[in-house]
Amino acid sequence: MAFESLSDKLQNIFKGLRGKGRLTEDDVKAALKEVKMALLEADVSFKVVKQFIKTVTERAIGQDVLNSLTPGQMVIKIVNEELTNLMGSETTKLKLLPDNEITVIMMMGLQGAGKTTTTAKIAGKLKGSGKKPLLVACDVYRPAAVEQLQINGDKQGVPVFAMGTNHKPVDIARAAIEHAKKNNNNVVILDTAGRLHVDEDMMNELIEIRDNIDITQTVLVVDAMTGQDAVNVATQFNEKIGIDGIIITKLDGDTRGGAALSIKAVTGKPILYVGMGEKLSDLEQFYPDRMASRILGMGDVLSLIEKAEQAIDQEKAKDMEQRLRKAQFTFDDYLEYMGQIKNMGGLSEMLSLIPGLGGQIKEDMLPDDKQLGRIEAIIYSMTKEERGNPDILNPSRKQRIAKGAGVDISEVNKLVKQFDQAKKMMKNMPGMMGGGKKKRRGG
């Protein structure tokens, strides 16, 4: 999970502070020393850590903090605010021109960073918001890259403009813009070629495109897992080409988070999105404040609400809530509910967004995919009638279901029991599952 090891460490440090009624300057300094170590171990740039600790120390040993009723909480609040500042304080969105003009986005990055995948992810988001994107294959060195873009474009239902590998990227870009004008596309996204390392040829090619095409913005894609290398790559691209925004991919697998925490502070350029998985829907707008709260285990309720809104069909949710209240909840609903949780990124991802739960629930405490698969198999082995009316499940029916699903009857019994409990619990929960009135703040 993103930031997991850093998050664990910080939460442990702050657990100690929170418990204390009074704090001395030395308490704060000792805690911040540990914070410093944790950040360095997370591969945050040394300079950034030094400045961060300096700022937090100055603010935290002020008299107002030490004399306050909850000094520990105040220190945590300061760390939260400064982490937010580090990552950019404000949310920066992709710059888009009005619909009647053509926005041109140049995607850049090293090979393997996730550029092509991310390009398709963005196209999907733009399409979803009513834009008419056109993807452009400007990587003329790897025929496989052109093909990959085409496949991903198809998946997103977004057209892909390609001219094979015998033209100069700048010419392909020019032709693509003409194509966009004729076909009413208003966002042109150039997927340029990456290399294994930053090299002259790649940079010159990008400069040629930049100087000859009216680019609205340049977006650099970097791989979170490469830590400080990602920050160095960003610095070089920014010096040679100029970058307007950054996308950090593979944050889902980055337990340390050093790149995400340093890249804005080092380059001065904002993180626009973060990649949270291989699926084309796994791209999230980057909110510095929410990310800081997540790192500190304070949860991210706003993201949870948004995920729920995206994953859950409001009409169906309302309908389900009504049936729940009337105790008509069935195994078919259970299946659907499981599907929605999967859409929201799985249980562990969801739980990490809930304040106070974040650091406490570990992956191994949750049912894994295999267990969920068995639950599905059991439900699928029921007849339609049994799914709709679980009360008729007598021992011989349960035996048959267990056989059909290839599990022991005790697992069927356990599921039926859990189901009954869930049913009781949900009946008592007001306004669950998005069926209630939509409430939302910020965004």
- The binding site consists of 109-116, 191-195, 249-252
Place of tokens 């709709």: 388
CA-nearest of 274, 391, 200 to 2 is 274
Which parts of 183-245 fold into alpha helices (H)?
200-212, 228-240
In the bound complex, what is the minimum distance in angstroms from residue 211's beta carbon to ligand GDP? 23
Q: What is the nearest approach in angstroms of ligand GDP to the Cβ of residue 162?
A: 15
Residue 266 and residue 112: Cα distance in Å, rounded? 23
**Given 111, 150, 228, 235, the residue binding ligand GDP (CB under 6 A):** 111
Binding piece for ligand GDP, criterion CB under 6 A, among 105-113, 154-162, 176-184, 391-399: 105-113
Q: Which of 333, 311, 310 is closest to 389 using CA atoms?
A: 333
- Position among 90, 201, 278, 368 found at the interface with ligand GDP (CB under 6 A): 278
Query: Is 256 an interacting residue with respect to ligand GDP (CB under 6 A)?
Result: no
The arrangement of strands across the sheet holding 160-161 comes to 160-161, 133-137, 187-191, 103-108, 217-223, 245-249, 271-275, 283-285
- List residues bridging with 191 in a β-sheet: 107, 137
Q: Could you tell me which of 418, 416, 417, 423 has the C-alpha nearest to residue 401? A: 416
Tokens of 61: 């040993």
Which residues define the annotated binding site for GTP? 109-116, 191-195, 249-252
* Complex with ligand GDP: residue 121 or 269, whichever CB lies closer: 121
Amino acid letter, 224? A
Binding test (CB under 6 A) with ligand GDP, winner from 72, 88, 277, 288: 277
Select 250 or 294, whichever has its Cβ closest to ligand GDP: 250
How many Å is the Cα radius of gyration of the chain?
25
In the complex, minimum distance from the CB of residue 388 to ligand GDP, in angstroms, rounded to a whole number: 39
Decide: is 113 part of the binding site for ligand GDP (CB under 6 A). yes
Regarding 226 and contact with ligand GDP (CB under 6 A), the answer is: no
Size of residue set near ligand GDP by CB under 6 A: 18
Output the residue with the shortest Cβ distance to ligand GDP.
275
d(CA 272, CA 216): 15
Nearest-approach distance from CB 107 to ligand GDP, in angstroms: 9
Does 112 bind ligand GDP (CB under 6 A)? Our answer is yes
Q: Whose Cβ is closer to ligand GDP: residue 44's or residue 233's?
A: 233
Cβ proximity to ligand GDP: between 191 and 411 the closer is 191
Chosen residue from 124, 153, 194, 297 binding ligand GDP by CB under 6 A: 194
Confirm or reject binding of residue 275 to ligand GDP (CB under 6 A).
Answer: yes
The encoded tokens of residue 367 equal 């049912």
Quote the least distance from Cβ 74 to ligand GDP, whole Å.
Answer: 36
Query: In this chain, which of 114, 227, 434, 435 binds ligand GDP, going by CB under 6 A?
Result: 114
Beta strands (DSSP E) in 124-172 are 133-137, 160-161
Q: Is position 270 an interface residue for ligand GDP (rule: CB under 6 A)?
A: no
Task: Select from 249, 303, 340, 381 the one that contacts ligand GDP (CB under 6 A).
Answer: 249
Decide if residue 285 touches ligand GDP (CB under 6 A): no
Q: Where are the beta strands (DSSP E) in 180-275?
A: 187-191, 217-223, 245-249, 271-275
Q: Give 256's contacts (C-beta < 8 A, 6+ positions apart).
A: 3, 5, 6, 41, 42, 43, 227
Q: Which is nearer to ligand GDP, 27 or 252 (CB)?
A: 252
Stretch that binds ligand GDP, among 8-16, 110-118, 157-165, 261-269 (CB under 6 A): 110-118
Choosing from 252, 284, 321, 349, the residue that interacts with ligand GDP (CB under 6 A) is 252
* All residues at 6 or more sequence positions from 309 whose CB lies less than 8 Å from its CB, including other chains: 434, 438
Q: Which helix (H) or strand (E) holds 6?
A: helix 4-19
> Which distant-in-sequence residues (6+ apart) come within 8 Å of 383 by Cβ?
none
Minimum distance from residue 67 beta carbon to ligand GDP (Å): 45
117 lines the binding site for ligand GDP (CB under 6 A): yes
Q: Chain centroid to CA 230: how far?
A: 18
Sign of CA dihedral 117, 122, 127, 132: negative
Q: Which two tokens stand for residue 137?
A: 């294959």
Return the bridge partners of 187, or none: 103, 133
If one asks whether residue 88 binds ligand GDP (CB under 6 A), the answer comes out as no
Helix (H) or strand (E) holding 134: strand 133-137
Structure tokens at 211: 């100087």
Contact call for residue 250 and ligand GDP (CB under 6 A): yes
Piece of 130-138, 272-280, 331-339, 414-422 that binds ligand GDP (CB under 6 A): 272-280
Q: Which one of residues 72, 88, 109, 133 is an interface residue with ligand GDP (CB under 6 A)?
A: 109
- Segment interacting with ligand GDP, rule: CB under 6 A, options 276-284, 350-358, 363-371, 390-398: 276-284
List 242, 253, 346, 404, residue binding ligand GDP (CB under 6 A): 253
* Structure-token pair, residue 244: 């307007």
For ligand GDP, the binding residues (CB under 6 A) are 109, 111-117, 194, 249-250, 252-253, 275-278, 282
